[in-house]
Amino acid sequence: MRSDRLERIRRWQQRYVDEGKYPGSALLIRRRGEEQYFHAAGLRNIEENLPFTRDTLVRLYSMTKPVTSVAVMSLLEQGLFHLDAPVSDFLPEFNDMQALVPGATQISQTKPCAAPTLHQLLTHTSGLSYPFNPGVLPEVMAQEDLLFKPDHGSLAPMVTRLAGLPLAFQPGTRWEYSVATDVLGRVAEVVSGKPLGRFLQEEIFEPLEMTETGFQPPSGAGSRFASLYTPLAADAMALNSAVTGADSLRLTDSYPHSPFWRAEMHSGGGGLIGTIDDYMKFTEMLRRRGRSQSGIIISSQTADFMMQNHLTGDIASMGPQSFAEQPMEGMGFGLGGAVVLNPARARCPGSVGDFSWGGIASTFFWLDRQLDVSVVFLTQLAPSSSYPARPELKALIHGAIAE
């Protein structure tokens, strides 16, 4: 990678800070397993003037989803289930499911449906949703605060409450970003017989030496845990009624008072906290097709299977009405992350087969196996739809590759 063109990325990171878009950020790029670039800009805590550093801890939010998905696939490799199994085989509260009828205007307008399969949960085609999506089901989820927040109690009762609502659509008929991976986390608990946090620790974090990743900040982390900011005047997650405020970096959560310090909820869809080097270990494991320095997390065949498109076309062709962490045109979806099908349709430089996902606090990762590139970008601004940082960053990095 060309050093003069990598300098453009450094300037881009600083510009986002100078313009009050991000409080700070860190970016790590590896190619063929070798570090090509690291730079941190700005602050992790504006109020205390603390710099964004390499060991800064951030809320990964939906970058938790690929981790949980890999863990679920490790159970699949043990022959403990198959992907077409209905979730009700493991969580009986999903028996006798109902789905909203097309065009429903009330939560009571339903008809019977099959329970979602594990594959539909992994691909966001299950009929579940998120409170910040538009629609009848998300509105009720918002009223009942079904978002798997760190201070929402334990996982099992939250999943039971969720199962008491109808699905937004018949499973398999549409794509909609959802809490499906949280349900998968509960499946992993039932199948493994372990709390999700311990299961991930034993299956993913310890083998990869991800020593600073978990559902709570590590002991003694203190002010290394970055503050979370938003440009919105109200709740940073209220995407249906998002109104920009006068302050582009309004503080919404900080280390002394954050609910993550006492997190009871093990949210497989959005609960992890970690550092840039820890997440790069996970990303590099995927680039190496399931292998790590210390062994095999999942087989190469399973890793390849996860990073294929599992939809019938691109996401846009499946009629989504939801928020998503990636473009929908030219992008398919694998098991736990997006897959580039056509860079031109996605309107962003890239390679066919790029695998990626992000989090609502504007974090992002991707790996390009054609170019042997792994990238992890961390910041703490919600929502991630605030600025077009991800396509800008991909264009900058592709522009720095000297081939």
What does the pLDDT profile of the chain (403 residues) look like in tens digits? Answer: 899 999 999 999 999 999 999 999 999 999 999 999 999 999 999 999 999 999 999 999 999 999 999 999 999 999 999 999 999 999 999 999 999 999 999 999 999 999 999 999 999 999 999 999 999 999 999 999 999 999 999 999 999 999 999 999 999 999 999 999 999 999 999 999 999 999 999 999 999 999 999 999 999 999 999 999 999 987 777 665 566 767 999 999 999 899 999 999 999 999 999 999 999 999 999 999 999 887 899 999 999 999 999 999 999 999 766 777 777 899 999 999 999 999 999 999 999 999 999 999 999 999 999 999 999 999 999 999 999 999 999 999 999 997 7
| pLDDT value of position 237 | 73
- Domain membership of residue 154 (yes or no) is yes
CATH number at residue 187: 3.40.710.10
- Domain membership of residue 378 (yes or no) is no
Secondary structure of residue 362 in the 3-state scheme: coil
Domain hosting residue 135, numbered range: 36-323
- Domain membership of residue 116 (yes or no) is yes
| pLDDT value of position 233 | 82
| pLDDT value of position 297 | 96
Angle, helix 180-192 to helix 155-163, in steps of 10 degrees: 120
- Domain membership of residue 199 (yes or no) is yes
| pLDDT value of position 243 | 66
Is the separation of the CB atoms in 297 and 207 below 8 Å? yes
- Domain membership of residue 12 (yes or no) is no
- Domain membership of residue 211 (yes or no) is yes
- Domain membership of residue 379 (yes or no) is no
Helix, strand and coil percent figures for the chain, each rounded to 5: 35, 20, 50
Vertex 243: Cα angle to 237 and 245 (nearest 5): 105
| pLDDT value of position 36 | 96
| pLDDT value of position 69 | 98
Vertex 177: Cα angle to 128 and 208 (nearest 5): 105
When divided into structural domains, the chain yields a total of 1
- Domain membership of residue 243 (yes or no) is yes
Vertex 214: Cα angle to 9 and 138 (nearest 5): 85
| pLDDT value of position 402 | 78
Using CB atoms within 10 Å of the CB of residue 294, give its burial: 0 to 12 exposed, 13 to 18 middle, 19+ buried.
exposed
| pLDDT value of position 240 | 58
